Chain A
Amino acid sequence: MKIGIPKDGRFGEFGGKYIPETLAPAIEELEKNYLKIRNDKNFKKELGRLLIDYAGRPTPIYFAKNLTKTIGGAKIYLKREDLLHGGAHKINNTLGQALLAKRMGKKRIIAETGAGQHGVATAMACASLGLKAEIYMGYVDTLRQKQNVFRMELLGAKVHAVKSGSKTLKDAINEAMRDWITNVDSTYYLLGSAVGPHPYPLMVRDFQAVIGVEIKKQMKKIPNAVIACVGGGSNAIGTFYPLIDTNAKIIGIEAGGKGVKTKLHSAPLTAGKKGVLHGMMTYLMQDKDGQISETHSISAGLDYPGVGPEHAFLKDENRVEYKAVTDSEVIDAFLILTRTEGIIPALESAHAIAHAIKISKKMKKTESIVVTLSGRGDKDIDIVKEYLAKNVKNKRKI
């Protein structure tokens, strides 16, 4: 399967650019500039240097011996994106896009953020490259991720708490787009996930593909299975894309919340319907009228009703399998990894761990699974603490 640059901005039928007309020239300018630097040796060199010296690439691949032994199945390897500067994979993309923005002569950067990881990574990239950053974050998310709000502010970014709609990630994207419409000439919109109008899904995938490229190099042979969590889907597409044409089984894990049969989840690929939101045609959680549903996930970073169009395409092509795990399974996985390996994963990444635990039991000991550990869990410890206090079943396990 060869995907490359999507024709007319579409991955199969998914993607496109459903945008207000005011943004059309900006999107066109972005596409032109991106396609130009995509193969520019100097740009690649400059970004490569930053990724090594500033972000801390390459990240290790770690054989989780204790976890593997505890589960008793296939060998589980962790791709340690949690060790990157800022504590998540987000910096791969923000450095790339901030560098592009600078080349385009833009001085003001805006971004949306869910859990705050993309906001922090944007603030870092902007501070280091001398750009001004303003971050939109849902009001609900600013409350559950207070520490990240302060981190962004310390890094010199201005944080806008968004109080419209459901006050989470999707509303932060709405507000960032409105800002962009208003300040289209001076401003660069630095989107953090593989979503939005073309060329964003392509660009974010390209910048995150370093994850999968390194996995391929670091593993002696192609792993039997590769797993990553999917919200918008940036760490997942970065992990999957370079492995698409291998025979690895590829699995994306969505946020099942309180169960995909309830309405309280964020799993559009598992339980959604095709639609148009935030400039793209993709799978969405929506009601009978086409109103976007309020979503739920224990992890703010996956709490989004849509998904990147390339994932929608890979699902329909049956190349990637998409599954959901529940909040409760996520907490179990979080605790198991923390206890067996001394690694505190982000709740987002714990989704992927939860599924790895499920399937490794059924696999042979000679087989291998690579899980992308997209971020570290320091930001989530209050949420976990609160969850454990409310749920006696899990508390006993400690």
Chain B
Amino acid sequence: MSRIKEKFNQLKSKKETALISYIMVGYPSEKTTLAAVRGLIQGGSDIIELGFPFSDPIADGPTIQMASTESLNNGTKIENFFTIVKKIRKESNIPLVLMTYTNILYNQTYLKFISRAKQAGIDGLILPDMAIEESKEYVKAAKKIGMDTIFLVSPNTEKDRLKQIIKSTSGFLYMVAVFGTTGVQTKIHKYTLDALKNTKYAAKGKIPVGVGFGVSTEKDVQKYVSSGADAVIVGSANIKIIENTPTNKIQTRIATFTKRLKNKTR
């Protein structure tokens, strides 16, 4: 059983919703990445999403774009990324998900990249520009290696398409909350809650549904938890904290923030 699946099973028996936390690797440095990961674990995050920067992140808003650019400017390479993952793996058994863009995998071939990621300790992949129509070879490679393929669905994804996406998804299904890119939003729309209901219905309890994009406050977390989400995904809010915190305080600040959010999932 994959680490992600196991985690969701555990949480289910405790009647808890998963808190999934995203950070960008290499922003602002390798050292702070490890500090932030420790803070996330300390604060009670259930699954960690590690962003690997891409030069052209079309699904990301200003905050994550900035973190990508900084990370690349700091010289983050795929080799560094795998080294960091291995370091985290020495300290923790927490499920780790890699979020990046298709070209990073395509460049090395899906099979080769995924097997290296698996070896380093990655459990699942999120590629916001991997459409279901183009995913055959990618899903095949991931299946062969035992890597979860976490697909995204949107509030405007139609029923038949949703079914098709669910078929190729493992780990959890990532529901994008808003029409837009990643980043802090101010309110929760009715269309998002309707979409969550429909997505949960289509998933039939076979695959957990996580909500992300614009989830940043305790109130957001609470609202999605009470609306039936199996997981909430917080990203840009973490990046903002890291951006505004001196290096030596990143771990504690991230831990405090994460703990507050996690409390709303219990």
Contact = CB atoms under 8 A, between A and B. Distances in A.
Interface of A: 8-9, 16-22, 24-25, 164-165, 170-171, 174, 177-178, 181-185, 273-279, 281, 284, 286, 288-292
Interface stretch (B11-19, B40-48, B90-98, B151-159): B151-159
A279 B108 contact: no
B147 to A, nearest CB: 18
A292 B104 CA distance: 10
B103 A17 contact: no
Nearest to A273: B107
A20 B181 CA distance: 10
A19 B161 CA distance: 14
Interface in B149-193: 151-154, 156-158, 161, 165, 176, 179-181
Contacts of A273: 107
B58 A24 contact: no
Nearest to A16: B134
Given A17-B131, A18-B130, A171-B56, 11 more contacts: A17-B134, A19-B129, A19-B131, A20-B58, A20-B154, A21-B152, A21-B157, A164-B69, A275-B106, A290-B54, A291-B54
Interface string B121-158: 00000001111011000000000000000011110111
B59 interface: yes
A21 B126 CA distance: 12
B153 A21 contact: yes
A276 B129 contact: yes
Nearest to B77: A289
Contacts of A16: 131, 133-134
Interface of B: 53-59, 61, 65, 69, 72, 77-78, 101-108, 128-131, 133-134, 151-154, 156-158, 161, 165, 176, 179-181
A269 to B, nearest CB: 17
Contact of B180 (A8, A181, A185, A274): A181
B172 to A, nearest CB: 15
Given A17-B133, A182-B180, A174 B102 contact: no
A91 B59 CA distance: 29
B72 A291 contact: yes
Nearest to B105: A290
Nearest to B76: A289
Contact of B133 (A8, A20, A276, A284): A8
Nearest to A164: B65
Nearest to B133: A17
Contact of B161 (A24, A170, A276, A291): A24
A289 B129 contact: no
A118 B60 CA distance: 25
Contact of B157 (A24, A278, A279, A281): A24
B179 A25 contact: no
13 contacts: A9-B133, A18-B134, A20-B152, A20-B176, A21-B157, A22-B154, A165-B55, A181-B58, A184-B156, A275-B103, A276-B102, A289-B77, A290-B107
A22 B108 contact: no
Contact of B181 (A8, A181, A279): A181
Contact of B179 (A24, A182, A276, A277): A182
Most buried by B among A24, A25, A292: A24
A279 B130 CA distance: 9
A290 B104 contact: yes
A269 B61 CA distance: 31
A177 B154 contact: no
Contacts of A20: 58-59, 128-129, 152, 154, 176
B255 to A, nearest CB: 31
Contacts of B72: 291
A184 B59 CA distance: 13
B129 A279 contact: yes
Contacts of B56: 165, 170-171, 174, 277-278, 292
A184 B104 CA distance: 26
Contacts of A25: 156-158
Contacts of A174: 56-58
* Shortest Cβ-Cβ A-B pairs, 8 listed: A290-B107, A22-B154, A182-B180, A292-B55, A291-B55, A21-B154, A276-B103, A276-B102
A183 B157 CA distance: 15
A286 B55 CA distance: 10
